Structures are given as C-alpha cells and as structure tokens.
Amino acid sequence: MKQVKLYLTMILMALMTQTMYQYAQAENIQKITADRLPAKAKKFIADNFPGKKATAAEAVKNGNVITLRANLSDNDTKIEFTKMGDWMSVQCEKGTVPNKVIPEKILKRTKELYNEGKIGKISKNQAGYEVKLTMGTTIKYNANCTLTEIIF
C-alpha cells in the first residue's frame, strides 16, 4: 500500500511539473493600445500604409522574447514588430504587401518567376526572408536576398 501511495505521488508530481513547464513556455499575450507601439513601428506604418493606422495591438511574450502585433484600420493588414519597432512580418489577408516594404532584389526576382504573383505576406529573420504569394506558393530568400527555395 505504501508503494502505491508513493507511485501515485510520483505521478502527480510529474504531471504538476509538466503542467507548470508548459504554462511557463506558453505565449503570454497582453492587449495594448496602439499608441504604445514604438515610434519606429508607428513610422513604418505611416510610411508604408498611408491613410491607415493601427487600431489594435498586443504584446506577445514567448519565453524571453517580446514581439508586438498590430492590426491596421483596413481590417486586412497585420504587422509583427520586434519590441524595438523593427518589422518582422507583414500580412495582407485580402490585399497585397506594399512594394515599398519588400526589398528591391526580392521584388524583382519574385516578379521574374511569377509575373502575375502577388505577395500576400513577407516575413524576415536573421536567416533571411520568406515570401508567400496570394496563389499559395512560398519563396525563401537568404539574408542577401538570394533565392534559396520555392515551395508549391
């Protein structure tokens, strides 16, 4: 009987530990007002999306990394920023990403490959860029904007 209690206690402790670990690793999302976005993020929106403004925003903490998400007044565009205000991704669910956002070399190469292809999302990180066309194709570029992969 003592061994059964010990065994059940060990199982309970393992479950509690795993639950606490998963909770600690989960994204922590906090709604913020759009005016709390960094000045650099506000400038990016003003420069690239004239006539539109951030209407909703949230701060997302995943481990030690904090990112900011903003929805624009067109109810179509979602932008993710670093906590310093540098853009990480731009997604236009119904429209297309403005050409000013896309590095010139990527825009040119994408147009060469898919003349009619429209860019609905662009993401960037240290490794490079990922472009998603509205027709579903994904194109990856390295940090120097050189094509590395096409996913149909």
Contact status, residue 87 vs residue 102, Cβ threshold 8 Å: no
Structure token pair of residue 152: 């149909």
For residues 15 and 21, give the distance between their C-alpha atoms in angstroms, rounded to a whole number. 10
Give the model confidence (pLDDT) of 86-136 as tens digits.
999 999 999 999 999 999 999 999 999 999 999 999 999 999 999 999 999
Classify domain 96-152 by CATH number. 3.40.1420.30
**pLDDT, tens digit, 9 for 90 and up, residues 6-25:** 666 767 666 666 655 555 44
**Does the pLDDT value for residue 5 go beyond 80?**
no
Length of the chain: 152
Instruction: With a cut of 80, say whether residue 50 has pLDDT above it.
Output: yes
The pLDDT of residue 3 is above 80: no
pTM attached to this predicted model: 0.82
Stretch(es) of the chain classified as CATH 3.40.1420.30 = 28-95, 96-152
Q: Residue 82: which of 66, 60, 61 has the closest Cα?
A: 66
Q: For residue 104, what is the enclosing H or E element?
A: helix 104-113
The CATH code that applies to domain 28-95 is 3.40.1420.30
